[in-house]
Amino acid sequence: MSLIELKNISKSFEQKKVLDRIDLSIEAGEAFLILGRSGAGKTVLLRHLIGLIHPDSGRVLIDGKDLNQLDEQELVQTRLKFGVVFQNSALFDSLTVGENVGFALIQHSALTKAEILPKVHTALEMVGLEGIEELYPYELSGGMRKRVAIARAIIYRPKIIIYDEPTTGIDPISVDKIVHLIQDLHQRLSITTLVVTHDLDVGLKIAQRVAFLLQGKIIFEGNKDDLQNPERITDPRVVQFIQGSSSGPIKEMEV
């Protein structure tokens, strides 16, 4: 049994089919990359995993449990297996960094404030930002906000961490720091890691296994080595994406 299984998932918004019969399995402990152009449906796919979006057809299984068959409380428990670093960091602007990082514990544990504080400190330390508990998100750079979002995601010691475009809009030095942080957390916490990005370089530094989403379908799935050896790739669309070429079978409008 895989930790995460998508079975024949389809999802449309109005007339547009965003996910088209997706099958995907992610094993416990692995670092997995979902690649795709902007608008390909990567975020929509992630939101299915935590039950924020329900598929039109198909099933999502986490630890063997079908999300559709869980009651509200079981769904909350299942969501707590995930730490999610959302695309825009999604920090609460009116809360301090400390309150943001401690949010899941404040909401979902019986711990007191005094018990939560050292956990917040440790989580911030793990992302290299100790001592900024009292600052507000607007006082942070984009790279720091991202790291605070990562601290918030790991505080509950989730089984799975999802990073949605973890490096978009961040300067190259901060990108490198975040990539190292993601690699480090994957190893230190033995946490199953799912990264979604259109940035091939970043994705391949983090993941061992890769799926490529195009026009609602996974058109490539394999190991990182397969993607880095052009002779192993048979689909010219995948080759075009890897080469970052504007000419090829993928046209401008196709995502």
Ligand X SMILES: Nc1ncnc2c1ncn2[C@@H]1O[C@H](COP(=O)(O)OP(=O)(O)OP(=O)(O)O)[C@@H](O)[C@H]1O
Residues in contact with ligand X by CB under 6 A are 13, 18, 36, 38-44, 87, 165, 198
Candidates 178, 158, 160; CA nearest to 168 is 178
Question: Residue 38 or 112: which CB sits closer to ligand X?
Answer: 38
Q: Does 89 bind Mg ion (CB under 5 A)?
A: no
- Residue 36 interacting partner from ligand X, Mg ion, none (CB closer than 5 to 8 Å by kind): ligand X
Least gap, CB of 82 to Mg ion (angstroms) = 16
Candidate ranges 15-23, 35-43, 93-101, 240-248; the one touching Mg ion (CB under 5 A): 35-43
Residue 94: contacted member of Mg ion, ligand X, none (CB under 5 to 8 Å, by partner type):
none
Q: 154 burial class (0-12, 13-18, 19+ CB within 10 angstroms)?
A: buried
Residue 41, contacted partner among Mg ion, ligand X, none, CB below 5-8 A by kind: ligand X
43 vs 89, which CB is nearer to Mg ion? 43
Work out how close the CB of 169 gets to ligand X at its nearest, in angstroms, rounded to a whole number. 11
Instruction: Give 58's DSSP letter.
Output: E
| Shortest distance in whole angstroms from residue 16 CB to ligand X | 6
Minimum CB–partner distance for residue 41 and Mg ion (Å): 8
Question: In this structure, what are the phi and psi dihedrals at residue 154, rounded to the nearest 5 degrees?
Answer: -95, -10
Residue pair 178/141 in contact by the 8 Å Cβ criterion:
no
Structure-token pair, residue 45:
């796919």
Tell me the sheet residues that pair with 196.
34, 164
Are 66 and 1 a contacting pair, CB within 8 Å? no
Q: Is 43 in the site for Mg ion (CB under 5 A)?
A: yes
User: Total residues contacting Mg ion (rule CB under 5 A)?
Assistant: 2
Residue 75's SS3 state is: helix
CB of 197 to ligand X, least distance (A): 8
- Shortest Cβ contact with Mg ion: which residue? 43
Question: Which residue, 100 or 197, is less far from Mg ion as judged by CB?
Answer: 197
Give the shortest CB-207-to-ligand X separation in angstroms: 16
User: Based on CB atoms, which residue is closest to ligand X, 52 or 76?
Assistant: 52
Question: CA-CA distance, 94 to 33, in Å (whole number)?
Answer: 33
Choose from ligand X, Mg ion, none: what does 192 bind? Cβ within 5-8 Å by kind: none
Phi, psi (5° rounding) for residue 83? Answer: -110, 130
Look up tokens 């992610």; give the residue.
Answer: 26
Q: How many CB atoms lie within 10 A of CB 184?
A: 13
Q: DSSP secondary structure string, 146-208?
A: HHHHHHHHHTT--SEEEEESTTTT--HHHHHHHHHHHHHHHHHTT-EEEEEES-HHHHHHH-S
Binders in 143-202 for Mg ion, by CB under 5 A? none
Torsion over CA of 58, 62, 66 and 70, rounded to 10 degrees?
A: -130
| Cβ at position 197, least distance to Mg ion in Å | 9
142 binds, among ligand X, Mg ion, none (CB under 5 to 8 A by kind): none
Distance CA(174)–CA(224), nearest Å, equals: 24
Contacts to Mg ion by CB under 5 A: 42-43
